[in-house]
Amino acid sequence: MKSIVSFVFALAAMVVFFLLLDVVLFNAQGLSLIFKG
Amino acid sequence: MRLFSVVNREIPIAKRRSLTALFLLFFLFALPVVKSADFFPAGIDTVYASEDAAKPATPAGEGEVKAAQPEEKKKEYPPAPQLKESDYPQVKYINGRIMTWMVAQLHLWFAAFVLAVPIFVFIIEAIGMATKDKRYDKLAYEFIKVSLTAYSITAVFGGLLLFTLVVFYPDFMKYMANIFSPTFLAYALIFFAESACLYIYYYGWHAMETGFSKWAHLTVGWMLNVVGTMLMFFANAWVTFMMSPHGVDANGVFEGNLWAAIHNHLWNPINLHRVIANVAYGGSVVGAYAAYKFLSARTQEDRAHYDWMGYTANFIAIAALLPLPFAGYWLIAEIYAYSQQMGITAMGGVFAWLFITQAVLIGALFLSANYYLWCGMERSKGAVKYTKYIKYIAFVIVTCFLVWFTPHTLILTPGELKALGGPYHKYLGPLGIMPAKNTAVNIMLLFTFLSFMLYQRCNKIPTVSWASRGNAFQIAIFVTAIINIGILGIYYGYFTNTVYKVASSVLQVASTLSVIILCTVINIFMYKGAKEVAPLQWGKMPDRSQYALFLLAVSFTWLMGLMGYIRSALRQHWHVYTVFRDSSPDAYTPTIGYAANVVTVATILFMAFVIFIFWLSTLSGKKETAHH
């Protein structure tokens, strides 16, 4: 049970981490995460 | 602090030796540095000499002096010659291009090997000093012993290359010497310094084994790497100048700034790519040596030693192989940035099919490296719990491998074209473009890293209380990274415009590197003070695993030859791209089959030399055993 809770928590943390990574790296290349047209 | 505990023993003798060694080193290193002031005569002041000439007139007197400078430079340096076919000397029964190509390739393979080995020998020696484990020292010594014979052969091929170029391409060499002659002299001096460092490093290994002299010995190893890398950077400057000339005008007239010619657009991407690739290559060749010794070992002790050596070499090769695709990606991106035509020729034009061959060979590299790791699990009694996962990892890696070498454009007959309903396959067509390949490569790298993680932990039992949470965190890292790489590859790769398609590949790389870094950090803390399941049984490896190490070395060699051909052939009919035209009878792009045959013959020759080197080291090994 403890492992499942840890896994869910870690999953949420890593989703945020990769989302931030994508936003920062797209932004650094002059693009936004949300594709426009 | 343990590192410092080896210092200050046997001071009188050690001190004398160390001071002599340090003095010698200082002399060797200081010479090229001091001389470098003469090697860059134009200096930074003249970087923008041509721009100065373009500026509006300045007050009289001062301006006249400044304006006179570029005129003098133009008189001093001639434009690139416009040659005719008859300007290229012909030697009966010898094709100048083939000979230069093969000799240059053989020189490069050996040079890559002898530059790489000292890098990891230095690291292994330092680890041995830190851990005081004599096994590391013995291993490092054996590695450097292999590279010593190769060093002489490298120099022989280097000399042969120079003669070949002078004989077959005298005007080209004259033009290059006009620009780069100071670096030619520097190269010769640094080569002298490298030889001195290598001989002191090798022959002084046992004489400088204890106390402060061991530190001096390690310093010699460091110096050997510094001068070796400097040598390569010089050679890279000549080669990249030919691809992306800088510091010359449209007619090839040198503007007088040597640094501009050296620091051309592709210099640093090649520098990075070659340093990483050399380490991976050096690891694979030494791995082949270990496999050769393992298979010919008579005692269990020798089998154990060479098994460990093979494992270490494979580890080095994989560790360098993981970031290598990213360095390659940067290089090709810079080639596109310098000349879109050159980039398209490489990836979308005549050489595109060689990149498919590259994918097959790199796929073979990954499969053999993984296979070796899976076989290596037999050394541990604790590996049973992970063996059931191997088939899934193999499935993912093979699937990614298939995606990677799916071609985009096919050479089809009209009948085949009709049957297919167009130039691209309905389902497999989308797998032929870069987003699919980038995704596949990144997932392949992640699963290779996973194989390595499983191998590392199979003989260990963590003792920290948070081990299960640590595992859960690592699984979450892998899952989210794969989802992220998938979304970036599919959504941004196929449903957005090209700007997003290119940009998202950087994010994919960042995701893969994040997994490697985060999981390594967690592993370090989680397995601190871990218990061993049972002592690792070195030498308990099936013989077939050793052939994976041979495959690794051969694939690397062949791959370097083929990719090196692409890099060089991108100049097409130019000696120096767009500046100095190649008018020799061989100034055409041969067919891929022909080029592959030349590279294959060169690969076989190289392997024959390598086997000769291995055999020589066996002879010296026999002598040492008899002596003991």
Give the residue-averaged pLDDT of B151-173. 95
Q: How far is CA B617 from CA B111, B115, B361, B588, in A?
A: 19, 19, 29, 42
End-to-end CA distance of chain B: 35
pLDDT at B536 over 90: no
Pick from B468, B471, B480 the residue to mutate for testing the A interface (most A CBs within 10 Å): B480
Give the residue-averaged pLDDT of B260-275. 96
Instruction: Name the residue facing B500 among A13, A14, A31 (closest C-beta).
Output: A31
pLDDT at B1 over 80: no
pLDDT at B149 over 90: no
The Cα–Cα gap between B239 and B234 comes to 9
A-chain residues near B500 (CB < 8 A): 31, 35
Give the model confidence (pLDDT) of B581-608 as tens digits. Answer: 999 999 999 999 999 999 999 999 999 9
pLDDT at B53 over 80: no
Chain A: residue whose CA lies nearest to B479: A11
Amino acid letter, residue B64? E
pTM of the model: 0.81
What DSSP designation does B466 have?
T
* Helix, strand or coil, per DSSP, at residue B578: coil
B-chain residues near A26 (CB < 8 A): 503-504, 507
Q: What is the mean pLDDT of chain B?
A: 85
Q: Would residue B53 count as lying in a domain?
A: no
Chain A: residue whose CA lies nearest to B475: A7
Instruction: Name the residue facing B472 among A3, A17, A22 (closest C-beta).
Output: A3
B6 is written with which tokens?
A: 């080896």
Find, among B364, B419, B355, B435, the residue nearest to B397 by Cα. B364
pLDDT at B42 over 60: no
Q: What is the mean pLDDT of chain A?
A: 88
Give the residue-averaged pLDDT of B32-38. 40
Contact call for B510 and A6, based on CB within 8 A: no
A-chain residues near B498 (CB < 8 A): none
Contact call for A3 and B471, based on CB within 8 A: yes
User: ipTM of the assembly?
Assistant: 0.95
Contact call for A35 and B495, based on CB within 8 A: yes
- Whether chain B has a CB inside 8 Å of the CB on A32: the answer is no
Which residue pairs from B581-588 have beta carbons closer than 8 angstroms and sit at least 24 positions apart in sequence? B581/B80, B581/B82, B581/B83, B583/B82, B583/B83, B583/B84, B583/B85, B583/B87, B583/B88, B584/B83, B584/B85, B584/B88, B584/B96, B584/B97, B584/B169, B585/B85, B585/B88, B586/B95, B586/B96, B586/B97
Q: Is B247 left (phi over 0), alpha (psi -120 to 50) or beta?
A: left
Dihedral sign, Cα of residue B382, residue B131, residue B147, residue B319: positive
A-chain residues near B484 (CB < 8 A): 18, 21-22
The Cα–Cα gap between B161 and B77 comes to 26
Contact call for B514 and A21, based on CB within 8 A: yes
Contact call for A35 and B511, based on CB within 8 A: no
Contact call for B480 and A11, based on CB within 8 A: yes
Pick from A15, A16, A19, A22 the residue to mutate for testing the B interface (most B CBs within 10 Å): A22
Pick from A25, A31, A32, A34 the residue to mutate for testing the B interface (most B CBs within 10 Å): A25
- Whether chain B has a CB inside 8 Å of the CB on A20: the answer is no
Q: Would residue B474 count as lying in a domain?
A: no
pLDDT at B10: 40
Contact call for A18 and B469, based on CB within 8 A: no
Q: Would residue B506 count as lying in a domain?
A: no
Give the model confidence (pLDDT) of B190-236 as tens digits. Answer: 999 999 999 999 999 999 988 889 999 999 999 999 999 999 999 99
Q: Would residue B363 count as lying in a domain?
A: yes
Contact call for B511 and A21, based on CB within 8 A: yes
| B75: Cβ contacts below 8 Å, ≥ 6 apart | none
Contact call for A18 and B514, based on CB within 8 A: yes
Q: Would residue B63 count as lying in a domain?
A: no
Contact call for A18 and B475, based on CB within 8 A: no
Instruction: Name the residue facing B469 among A3, A13, A14 (closest C-beta).
Output: A3
The Cα–Cα gap between A27 and B319 comes to 30
Among residues of chain B, what percentage have pLDDT more than 70?
A: 87
A-chain residues near B472 (CB < 8 A): 3-4, 6-7, 10
Instruction: Name the residue facing B476 among A2, A10, A21 (closest C-beta).
Output: A10
Q: Quick one: pLDDT band at residue B623, thresholds 50, 70, 90?
A: low
CA of B472 vs chain A CAs: smallest distance (Å): 5
Give the residue-averaged pLDDT of B309-331. 89
B-chain residues near A23 (CB < 8 A): none
Q: Would residue B318 count as lying in a domain?
A: yes
End-to-end CA distance of chain A: 45
Dihedral sign, Cα of residue B20, residue B26, residue B29, residue B34: negative
Number of domains in chain B: 1
- Whether chain B has a CB inside 8 Å of the CB on A33: the answer is no
Q: Would residue B488 count as lying in a domain?
A: no
Q: Would residue B485 count as lying in a domain?
A: no
A-chain residues near B465 (CB < 8 A): none
Give the model confidence (pLDDT) of B359-371 as tens digits. Answer: 899 899 899 999 9
Among residues of chain B, what percentage have pLDDT more than 90?
A: 61
The Cα–Cα gap between B555 and B552 comes to 5
CA of A11 vs chain B CAs: smallest distance (Å): 5
Give the residue-averaged pLDDT of B319-343. 90
Chain B: residue whose CA lies nearest to A11: B476
Give the model confidence (pLDDT) of B461-488 as tens digits. Answer: 999 999 999 999 999 999 999 999 999 9
CA of A32 vs chain B CAs: smallest distance (Å): 9
Chain A: residue whose CA lies nearest to B508: A22
Contact call for B480 and A14, based on CB within 8 A: yes
* Helix, strand or coil, per DSSP, at residue B238: helix
- Find the domain containing B212 and state its range: 96-380+536-627
Find, among B442, B405, B434, B439, the residue nearest to B498 by Cα. B434
